[in-house]
Amino acid sequence: MTSNALVAVTGAEGFIGSHLTETLVAAGYRVRAMAQYNSFSSYGWLETLSPDTLDQVEIVLGDVRDSGSVHDLAEGAEAVYHLAALIAIPYSYRAPHSYVDTNVTGTLNVLEVVRKLGIPRLVHTSTSETYGTAQTVPITEDHPINTQSPYAASKAGGDRLADSYHASFGTPVVTLRPFNTFGPRQSMRAVIPTVIGQVAAGEQVITLGDLRPTRDFLYVKDTARAFLAVGTAPAEAVVGRTFNAGTGGEISVGELTRLIGKLMDTNLDVREDEERVRPAASEVMRLVADATRLRDATGWQPGHDLEQGLLRTIEFFRNPANLARYKTGIYNI
């Protein structure tokens, strides 16, 4: 792939997608960015990127459930980065059909378009949630898949389709499996923005779900660089393979909350909220990554530790203009 080449991104207006768009432009690419069609003509987080970045970005409204709009997005691109998905676990309990439509059928549409147009590289996005609670740690890509929520099941369905397209048609797909990603622009559905956002909004009592699960938190700029790494590595190093992206570190939600309190210089009164606690068999209790395969294939490694990433995230949420984009007083699912 040459620099200044055109690449296409689905889910570009979202949290990781908007950071990836910036990373791709910084690396010299022109980006055709799909934002999901909506009647407000909202481009999500893409609206907040710098004018210099946006000069290199063509924003198109579309929907991955519609193969025509995926075709128009991908035509002429040297790579497609497929991030569009429904991602909230609690909402997947309520609206599972929409998860299958978006995460399974949407991924099938992307695979078909990439295959028919002969696009040289597709980066498909998986998630560490497909592993379920760790049976062995750290989790390598050979760990069993155990889908404990409709969200995880729909993502694993997309992953299996991606594997099958590589096996059946030689489609040049590589699957990136990020562990929990955090940073500026993340939705309040996730734990870190929930805590930081509530504190920044002046709430005295912080309400959370189960405090025991542990996660491997990866700063979003490092996740974006992992996408770029697998999107640009020589085909023989990555195509047809799945790569974890994570730090290898682990922290419980309870400890994480205490750390955020310390960094924000505040004493947190943390309460468990029944509404936020997941069914016991659906809660993934432990996730920690082994990202050796990604490092060996591409040289990627994380560039931020947890505290550095948290400080940048706190700075983002303390800016009133950013905080105003969130609803801190409700349970965001």
- By rule CB under 6 A, what string of x and - marks binding of each residue 251-290 to ligand NAD? ----------------------------------------
**Judged by CB under 6 A, how many residues of this single chain contact ligand NAD?**
27
Contact between 194 and ligand NAD by CB under 6 A: the answer reads no
Minimum separation from the CB atom of position 280 to ligand NAD (A): 22
- Least Å distance, CB 16 to ligand NAD, is 4
How far apart are the C-alpha atoms of 85 and 198, rounded to whole Å? Answer: 26
Complex with ligand NAD: residue 190 or 268, whichever CB lies closer: 190
Name the β-bridge partners of 60.
34
- Inter-residue contact 63 to 37 (CB < 8 Å): yes
Answer yes or no: 151 catalytic: yes
Residue among 9, 14, 191, 243 that touches ligand NAD (CB under 6 A) = 14
Binding ligand NAD by CB under 6 A: which of 92, 107, 127, 130?
A: 127
Among 11-19, 133-141, 193-201, 286-294, which window interacts with ligand NAD (CB under 6 A)?
11-19
Longest distance between any two alpha carbons in the chain, whole Å? 57
Query: Which one is catalytic: 29, 131, 151, 165?
Result: 151
**From candidates 21, 23, 36, 257, binder to ligand NAD by CB under 6 A:** 36
**Nearest distance from C-beta of residue 196 to ligand NAD, angstroms:** 15
102 lines the binding site for ligand NAD (CB under 6 A): yes
For residues 47 and 21, what is the distance between their CA atoms, to the nearest angstrom?
A: 12
Q: Which residue is nearest to ligand NAD (CB)?
A: 14
Q: Which CB, 14 or 138, lies closer to ligand NAD?
A: 14
Q: d(Cα 77, Cα 274) in Å, to the nearest integer?
A: 47
The residues carrying an active-site annotation are 151
Q: Which residues bind ligand NAD (CB under 6 A)?
A: 10-11, 13-17, 34, 36, 44, 63-65, 83-87, 102, 106, 125, 127, 155, 178, 180-181, 187
